[in-house]
Amino acid sequence: MNFEYIMPTISLILVLILVLPSFLSSNSNLKTFLKNISIWAIIVLVVMIVLNFIY
């Protein structure tokens, strides 16, 4: 793997570690949690599709 793939992956994992505890504590209801997870999944998919077409 190239350095250009490793560093963004590490930074995304570190951001996830920083954000995840607050995200879980603010989404105590299952309905709210599933709604927020689905929104984030859509955002990630859109970003991945856009980056796939750019590169």
What pLDDT, on a 0 to 100 scale, did the predictor assign at position 3?
Answer: 76
pTM: 0.58
pLDDT tens-digit profile of 1-41? 677 878 888 999 999 999 988 887 887 888 888 898 899 99
Residue-range domain boundaries for the chain: 3-54
Full 3-state SS string of 1-55: CCHHHHHHHHHHHHHHHHHHHHHHHHCCCHHHHHHHHHHHHHHHHHHHHHHHHHC
Cα–Cα distances (Å) from 48 to 13, 29, 53, in that order, read 16, 28, 9
What pLDDT, on a 0 to 100 scale, did the predictor assign at position 23?
Answer: 80
Do residues 36 and 27 lie in contact, with contact meaning Cβ atoms separated by under 8 Å?
yes
Average pLDDT of the residues in 36-50: 93
